[in-house]
Amino acid sequence: MITTICLNPCFDKTVEVDSLEVGQVNRTREARVDLGGKGINVAVVASRLGLDAQCIGIMGENGAEELSRLMDAEGLNHEFLTIPGRVRTNMKICSGDGKGVTELNEPGEPLDAETLKRFTALAEEKTKDSDMVVLTGSLPPGCPEGTYRDLMLALKGKKCILDSEGRELELGAREARPFLIKPNLREMERTLGMELRTMRSIRDAALIFLRLGVEHAVVSMGAMGAMYVSTRETLFSPALRVTTKSTVGAGDAMIGGMLLGYQREGSMSKAFRYGMAAGAASVMTAGTQLIIPSDFERLLDQVRIQEV
Ligand SMILES: Nc1ncnc2c1ncn2[C@@H]1O[C@H](COP(=O)(O)OP(=O)(O)OP(=O)(O)O)[C@@H](O)[C@H]1O
Ligand SMILES: [Mg+2]
């Protein structure tokens, strides 16, 4: 069983406009609402790829029914504490004139210490049968620095995957020794406060985290590919060439793929290939529709891994 944690779920609303004009009235062409929140995304991808996955978290009571219905429709097991307030909506505006995607993300309902304490108890209970726990996504207002670290420490003995940045990543890596971290390149640069322009500098950056106690690091670089680093080896994989519809959630899909790879192969370095295929498959779907398993299976053979 795999458990993902989602402390700040959302509805992802994707709208299309011919041309986005700031400060003007913009009429949308199409709109769709998907499940959102990184923890939910990872669980959806893992379960679509055939893994036994559940998502646990906290959500506002207003919208909880709809969010639960969408998770049920995915066949996803889930257990969320509800709090006063509403589930946030993150808006993605796709402009047809080549201006790309503009995102407007809400912060989410604030959490207090008491709710976090109740959630920690829920997480301890719900992860009893889990081999792997995934902690990912922005934290809602009110969460103290080190919230992911504290959760990982409470789940002592569980293999944890941490996808975060800045102080959350640093404190988590330093004090709770996650099994895997998966920042993207920009998150890695912001966390360390330095530019990473060469393969060597990216590997050295990953090694800083390995020295802190992280076992495996994957630094994803969008359309450039990704690097896998452990104390034993460094691998690079160029991104697969696919028709890009939306890159939102590619990193989440990558984690879902690596979870499957780890289950099948029993090794994170071998699981890297699965992450590459899942990331590429996810950019082939529009909005935040994540992944179609047949795309993933087809791409798996095409992944090329190089030793660095
Ligand atoms: N345009 C692309 N073409 C092919 N593969 C891609 C593309 N964008 C992303 N990928 C694949 O997905 C992986 C993860 O993407 P990326 O680095 O963008 O993650 P991310 O920034 O964490 O995404 P998110 O947090 O939105 O889920 C990349 O390493 C790559 O393998
Ligand atoms: Mg990411």
- In the chain (308 residues long), the average pLDDT of successive 10-residue segments reads 97 93 93 92 97 97 97 95 97 89 94 97 97 96 97 96 97 97 98 97 98 97 98 97 90 98 98 98 85 97 97
The residues near 139 (Cβ < 8 Å, ≥ 6 apart) are 7, 8, 147, 148, 168
* CA 265 to ligand 2 center in whole angstroms: 24
Q: Are 109 and 146 in contact (CB under 8 A)?
A: no
100's tokens = 């790309």
- Of 207, 150, 143, 204, the closest CA to residue 181 belongs to 207
Between CA 22 and CA 149 the distance in angstroms is 40
The residues near 213 (Cβ < 8 Å, ≥ 6 apart) are 173, 174, 177
* CA 70 to ligand 2 center in whole angstroms: 22
Between CA 41 and CA 49 the distance in angstroms is 12
Q: Across the strands, what pairs with 134?
A: 4, 161
Helix axes 268-283, 250-265, angle to 10 degrees: 140
* CA 37 to ligand 2 center in whole angstroms: 11
Determine the distance from the C-alpha atom of residue 305 to the mean position of all C-alpha atoms in its chain, rounded to a whole number: 22
Instruction: Provide the whole-model pTM.
Output: 0.96
Classify the C-alpha dihedral 204-209-211-214 as positive or negative. Answer: negative
Give the pLDDT confidence score for residue 32 in this predicted structure: 86
- Of 280, 254, 281, 279, the closest CA to residue 268 belongs to 254
Give the pLDDT confidence score for residue 101 in this predicted structure: 86
Give the pLDDT confidence score for residue 288 in this predicted structure: 67
| CA-nearest residue, atom 25 of ligand 1 | 251
Give the pLDDT confidence score for residue 224 in this predicted structure: 97
Give the pLDDT confidence score for residue 111 in this predicted structure: 97
Which one of 164, 283, 300 would you pick to mutate in the ligand 1 pocket, going by the greatest count of ligand atoms within 8 A of its CB? 283
Give the pLDDT confidence score for residue 4 in this predicted structure: 98
CA atoms within 13 A on the CB side of 71: 28
| Ligand 1 pocket, residue 252 CB under 6 Å | yes
- Of 197, 107, 124, the closest CA to residue 158 belongs to 124
Between CA 19 and CA 254 the distance in angstroms is 31
Give the pLDDT confidence score for residue 83 in this predicted structure: 97
* CA 25 to ligand 2 center in whole angstroms: 32
Instruction: Tell me the ligand closest to 279's alpha carbon.
Output: 1
Report the CATH fold assignment for 2-20+28-307: UDP-N-acetylmuramoyl-L-alanine:D-glutamate ligase (3.40.1190)
Q: Are 59 and 68 in contact (CB under 8 A)?
A: no
| CA-nearest residue, atom 17 of ligand 1 | 222
User: Measured in Å, how far apart are the chain's first and last C-alpha atoms?
Assistant: 33
Give the pLDDT confidence score for residue 245 in this predicted structure: 86
Give the pLDDT confidence score for residue 268 in this predicted structure: 98
